[in-house]
Amino acid sequence: RRKRRILFNQLQIHQLEKIFRRQKYLSAAERDQLSSMIGLSPTQVKIWFQNHRYKTKK
């Protein structure tokens, strides 16, 4: 069975987008810091950045 999809709240999306505008790639340390700050796992942050880079490229 797959895990259910987690919807991010507006605050989390705002923070992710704010940092994404400044830098398209995060180091592991930056990812860990951001994830603990907004209450997501580092993997969720990593995947969000991957998906967002792909979406902006289109």
Write down the domain spans for the chain.
Answer: 27-58
Predicted local confidence at residue 46, as pLDDT: 98
Predicted local confidence at residue 3, as pLDDT: 82
Q: Residues 49, 26: contact at Cβ < 8 Å?
A: yes
**The whole model's pTM is what?**
0.89
User: pLDDT for 17-57, tens place per residue?
Assistant: 999 999 999 999 999 999 999 999 999 999 999 999 999 98
Closest Cα to residue 44, out of 29, 56, 34, 55? 34
CATH superfamily of 27-58: Homeodomain-like (1.10.10.60)
Which CA distances in Å does 12 have to 27, 32, 43? 19, 14, 14
